[in-house]
């Protein structure tokens, strides 16, 4: 029976990249000491910055980014799969990707994923977000093998789009992910149910590290990093918004067991959609 010890790292990232990398690295080391072999950090691990001008003044290309280099070294030092939930990565003079990175135990980059769904919303409390004004959306779903299990990569708002997670599961992912910086308002309303729903629908483990608390740029995030089993049970949760980490032992045989009990992936059928017209009197 194959198992994987997984950990979620919860942070409260600010405006100083070096400090964020240092604080996150300390939590990663602690989780690794406790036995985690796959460790995930939240969306925007090394910088949360609302100001577009200030964001562009601080970020770099993937090749030049100090956080990318530091986390690659750390993965090799600890001999772990290190999933950096996302970083703001410059992709051109005026373009940025919200990019997740997966480093192998040798420190080599195994996968990158650019967040597909942009958080462009107006919330009831007056918050307004236009992620597409700064970030270029990705166009490709991504899976990557972690030895005995395949992992599917998502980021934050992606969790609200079941088709993406179904596609990852159909492609063989037994773990799907949504590292996040969920707003406090939407997190309180929907975070837990969305994570559990994606797990149940796909028969997959869902692992989602989160930002939490009041950040230097003024935003508030929900925290409550989660690891959910394929049957929908919460295996581990950081049940607050402060920095920390949580671990769970994933029994990978539960993926096949859940999909065997409720074979929703196998039973899905294609269909057409039509708009029904008015029924005739005789057919009523």
pLDDT tens readout for residues 123-179: 887 777 788 889 999 999 999 999 989 999 999 999 999 999 999 999 999 999 999
User: What pLDDT is attached to residue 283?
Assistant: 55
Question: In CATH, what number does 3-265 get?
Answer: 3.60.110.10
User: What pLDDT is attached to residue 280?
Assistant: 66
Catalytic residue among 43, 49, 110, 201: 43
Catalytic residue among 49, 110, 156, 201: 156
Residue ranges of the domains in the chain? Answer: 3-265
Catalytic residue among 23, 49, 110, 115: 115
Cα separation, 224 vs 180, in Å, equals: 10
User: What pLDDT is attached to residue 132?
Assistant: 86
pTM here is 0.94
User: What pLDDT is attached to residue 54?
Assistant: 94
Question: Is 115 noted as a catalytic residue in this protein?
Answer: yes
Spans of the chain, pLDDT less than 50: none
List, edge to edge, every strand of the sheet that includes 109-114: 109-114, 95-103, 81-92, 38-40, 3-10, 244-251
Contacts of residue 45, defined as CB under 8 A and 6 or more positions apart, other chains included, come to: 11, 13, 20, 21, 24, 67, 84, 85, 86, 87
């Amino acid at each position: 029976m194959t198992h994987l010890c997984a950990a979620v790292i919860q942070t409260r990232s600010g405006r100083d990249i070096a400090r964020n990398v240092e604080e996150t690295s300390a939590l990663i080391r602690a989780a690794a000491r406790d036995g985690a072999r796959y460790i995930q950090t939240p969306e925007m691990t090394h910088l949360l910055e609302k100001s577009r001008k200030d964001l562009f003044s601080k970020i770099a290309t993937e090749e030049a980014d100090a956080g990318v280099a530091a986390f690659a070294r750390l993965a090799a030092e600890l001999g772990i799969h290190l999933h950096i939930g996302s970083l703001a990565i410059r992709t051109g003079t005026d373009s940025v990707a919200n990019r997740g990175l997966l480093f192998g135990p040798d420190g080599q980059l195994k996968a990158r994923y650019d967040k597909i769904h942009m958080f462009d919303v107006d919330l009831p409390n007056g918050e307004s977000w236009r992620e597409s004004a700064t970030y270029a959306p990705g166009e490709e779903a991504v899976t990557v093998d972690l030895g005995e299990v395949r992992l599917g990569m998502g980021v934050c708002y992606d969790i609200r789009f079941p088709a993406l997670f179904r596609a990852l599961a159909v492609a063989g992912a037994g773990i799907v992910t949504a590292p996040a910086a969920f707003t406090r308002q939407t997190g309180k309303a929907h975070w837990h149910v969305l994570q559990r729903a994606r797990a149940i629908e796909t028969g997959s483990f869902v692992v989602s590290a989160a930002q939490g608390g009041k950040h230097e740029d003024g935003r508030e995030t929900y925290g409550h990093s989660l690891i959910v089993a394929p049957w929908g049970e919460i295996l581990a949760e950081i049940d607050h918004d402060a920095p920390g980490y949580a671990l769970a032992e994933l029994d990978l045989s539960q993926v096949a067991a859940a999909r065997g009990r409720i074979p929703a992936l196998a039973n899905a059928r294609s269909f057409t959609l039509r708009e029904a017209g008015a029924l005739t009197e005789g057919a009523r």
